[in-house]
Structure 1
Amino acid sequence: MTPVELSRTVLRAVRRAVDEGELSVAVPQRAVVVPPGPGGCGDYATNIALQLAGAAGQPPRRVAEILQQHLARTDGVADVVVTGPGFINISLQGANAAALTREILRDGTAYGHSDALTGEVVELRIPYDVRAEVVADALVRIVGSQGGRVEVDHREPVNLRPVPAPDDPALLGPDAARWALLHPAAHDRPRITADHLVQRESNPLFRVRYAHARTRALSRNAADLGFTPEPGDVQEDMAALLAVLADHPRVLARAAAQRTPDSLARHLVTVADAVLAVLPVVLPRGDEKPSAAHRARLALAEAAGAVLAGGLSLLGIDAPQHL
């Protein structure tokens, strides 16, 4: 369930509570769902109860408890917990392989995008520094993927000041330079070294781009063998990949809400490692004929490729078809 779908689920819970006479409020047009803040839990949280409490004439926590009962009975929701004055924290059930794969292939590189931040304007005041510029540029796209808008300005007081690079990153070339500046957390000093250029597994950027290129190669090889992807059930050896793909919308939402493009970069490394671990079993071996299992694995691999390409694009980094 994506943030957009969860937002609609929350609104349906409000509507049911109104229809059953538990709440007397106008159903809002949207419900904001974001990663939980300090003291929260689960995958997402919403402050809809605090928003409705005044009109309902009830304490926010009571409104949250009413909605909690409706949300807990919703397909795809594993648990609902009320915290603080009335924040609703929602944990989602594990992803169904076929449904998740179909959703990603439908959305392509826009998988995980939502309207959770629609109407929100983020003001970034940054110093004249190359790393700050690159981080702000990535945040323009990441926040935009959640429906928000970023305005960047160079004035005091600054509110985004990542640790500057010790050397000129331009010597690494555009893609490696951006990765070197975006992959570390803002409070960590980036390494501007040739390690970002080596074509081996020790280089996280190489693993991410290589994993994407391999998914594209699998599609070409499958076409040569005469079969196409078809979402379906996959075996336990795909569980880790399935889990990280299902987590992608939450990671994107958190990166936008917390202004942390580094969390997206690290997530892409996790996705790449999960992809590379299963690629050897995607295509038939030897005289083996393509089966429904092969088609389902191929579909999941293509979905992973879309997630990698979409994530790299948000960071401003190219996702090559061949590597």
Structure 2
Amino acid sequence: MTPADLSRTVVRAVRCAVEDGELPAGAGVPARVVVERTRPGGVGDYATPAAFHVAKSVGLPPRDVAAVLARRLGSVPGVERVEVTGPGFLNFVMDPVSVESVVREVRERGTAYGSGDGDLGPRALVVAEAVLRIRAGQGMSIGEPVPDTAPVARRDGDVVRLYGNDAARWAMLCVAPHESPAFSGRLLVQDESNEFFRVRYAHARSRALVRNAARLGFGSEPGEVPDGGPLAQVLADYPLVLESAAHHRAPEQVVRYLVRAADELLAFHYRVLPKGDEKPSAAHRARLALAEAAGTVLAGGLDLLGIAAPDCL
């Protein structure tokens, strides 16, 4: 189970508990619930306050509702255990991420992986477009798509002309909309000290691995990768990041995620291809599939931001 599945799973648990009489018939079944990473010092991997909303609709103590849901959710595949903390928070300890299942889901959905079912200045337009794409991908209504957005400072001039569309968009979106974006020649530096370059370079490396593997006569095939857990975990987090970014109208969350995913891929990609006289094996095919999936996620995230993901840099 990917973390993003938890929201739908909790909703299903509420509905089934009502149908089976474990919760009163008048209990409100939410359309979706918020599931977030547990804060430092918290219990488990993810937490949700869903029991509070259900309890309010029927006048029950949230902890009683949480206890009902915890019993149901503890047997869900992918969930190791569920604990109730405080006045009624549900905390999930997840089974280790299956590299193969994450890769297969990314391959199946492609760059759509992670998606759910006045006179604006140039930066407000960029932020608005990114928010619209992210919210639409989550099946959310557009609502008021434009957060309060700090404009590009006059001293920065025509940033699209100076830095190009993609680099300018990256700078506009890498900080919260209410914060002023920073522009400098660093945006154009072609090395891994530049996060914008690093993300697109990581995507290009994933595509190069696929091409080089083809020259060696093998392709990708999802499988378990013992040393691929950290990268697979980052990929599994992507749907939850998109849901949070859409909910909070915060495209900078997608930017931060892409940097994290790129760094994990760049730390992993050296292990993909055979070395020396080594023959391609099932392990190489599985590593290639994981790297290819990471590239797909990077391409999808950049596309949501309106930024190109070239195959070569």
Quickly name the TM-score band, shorter chain normalised.
0.7 to 0.9
**Pair 1:25 & 2:28 matched:** no
What per-residue deviation string (whole Å, max 9, x for no partner) do you get for residues 230-259 of structure 1? 1111132x2321221121112111111222
Distance 1:300 1:16, change over 3 A: same
Partner Cα separation in structure 1 for residue 48 and residue 119 of structure 2: 33
Report the residue type matching 2:128 in the other structure.
A
Query: TM-score, normalised on structure 2?
Result: 0.86
- Give the whole-Å Cα distance in 2 for the aligned partners of 1:274 and 1:195: 22
Letter aligned with residue 148 of structure 2: L
3-state SS of 1:149 partner:
coil
Distance 1:226 1:30 in 2: 50
* Conserved? CA contact 2:37–2:46, under 8 Å: no
1:304 paired to 2:298: no
What amino acid sits opposite 2:177 in the alignment?
Answer: A
Q: Does the 8 Å contact 2:130/2:305 carry over to 1? A: yes
The amino acid of 2:130's aligned partner reads: A
Indicate how the Cα distance of structure 1 residues 164 and 89 shifts in structure 2: closer, same or farther if over 3 A, else same: farther
Residue 281 (1) aligns with residue 267 (2)? no
Quick one: structure 1 residues 10 and 38, their matched pair in 2 at CA, closer, same or farther if it must change by over 3 Å? closer
What residue in structure 2 maps to residue 313 of structure 1? 303
Which of residues 246, 257, 260 in structure 2 aligns to 1:256? Answer: 246
Where 1:254 maps in the other structure, the secondary structure is helix
State how far apart, in whole Å, the 2-side matches of 1:160 and 1:84 are: 34
* Residue identity in the other structure for 2:108: R
- Is the 8 Å Cα contact of residues 303 and 309 (structure 2) preserved in structure 1? yes
TM-score when normalising by structure 1:
0.84
Q: Which letter does structure 2 place at the counterpart of 1:149?
A: S
Separation (CA, whole Å) in 2 of partners of 1:244 and 1:134: 26
User: Greater CA deviation, 298-307 or 74-83?
Assistant: 74-83
Q: 1:27 to 1:179 in 2, by over 3 A?
A: same
CA contact (8 A) 2:27 2:57 kept: no
Percent identity of equivalent pairs: 50
* Count of matched residue positions in the alignment of Structure 1 and Structure 2: 307
Deviates most, 190-199 or 180-189: 180-189
Residues 169-178 or 2-11, more deviating:
2-11
The aligned counterpart of 2:193 is: 202
Aligned partners of 1:16 and 1:70 also within 8 Å = no
Structure 2 residue matching 1:131: 3-state secondary structure:
helix
Change (3 A) 1:99 1:38: closer
Asked whether 1:162 is paired with 2:150, we answer yes
Q: 1:102 to 1:11 in 2, by over 3 A?
A: same
1:114 correspondence with 2:103:
no
1:24 to 1:139, Cα distance in 2 relative to 1, 3 A:
same
Structure 1 segment 38-57 matched on structure 2, within 5 A: 42-45=45-48, 47=50, 50-51=53-54, 54=57
Q: What do residues 15-65 of structure 1 show as CA deviations (whole Å, max 9, x unaligned)?
A: 55346542243797764132449999743525366247645x644442222
Paired position in structure 1 for 2:132: 140
Kept after mapping to 1: 8 A contact 2:134/2:245: yes
Residue 9 (str. 1) matches residue 9 (str. 2): yes
CA apart distance, 1:260: 1.4
Where in structure 1 are there 5+ consecutive unaligned residues? 116-125
Question: Which of 218, 223, 239 pairs up with 2:209?
Answer: 218
| Aligned partner letter, 2:149 | R
Q: What residue ranges of structure 2 are gaps of 5+ in the alignment?
A: none
Q: Deviations over 1:132-176 (max 9, x none)?
A: 22111110111112111325589xxxx522364451321211101
Q: Distance in 2 between matches of 1:253 and 1:224?
A: 38
| Distance (Å, rounded) in 2 between the aligned partners of 1:64 and 1:146 | 26
Aligned counterparts of 2:198 and 2:253: Cα–Cα separation in 1: 16
Matched ranges for 1:75-154 at <5 A: 75-82=77-84, 86=88, 88-115=90-117, 128-151=120-143
Aligned partners of 1:198 and 1:206 also within 8 Å: yes
Q: Secondary structure in 1 aligned to 2:142?
A: strand
Task: Map Cα deviations across residues 191-244 of structure 1 (whole Å, 9 max, x no partner).
Answer: 2112111211111111111111111111111112111111111132x2321221
Question: Structure 1 residue 312: deviation in Å?
Answer: 0.2
Task: Give the direction of change, closer, same or farther, for the CA distance of 1:255–1:300 in structure 2 (3 Å limit).
Answer: same
Task: Quote the offset at 1:94 in angstroms.
Answer: 2.7
Q: In structure 1, what is the Cα distance between the partners aligned to 2:100 and 2:174?
A: 31
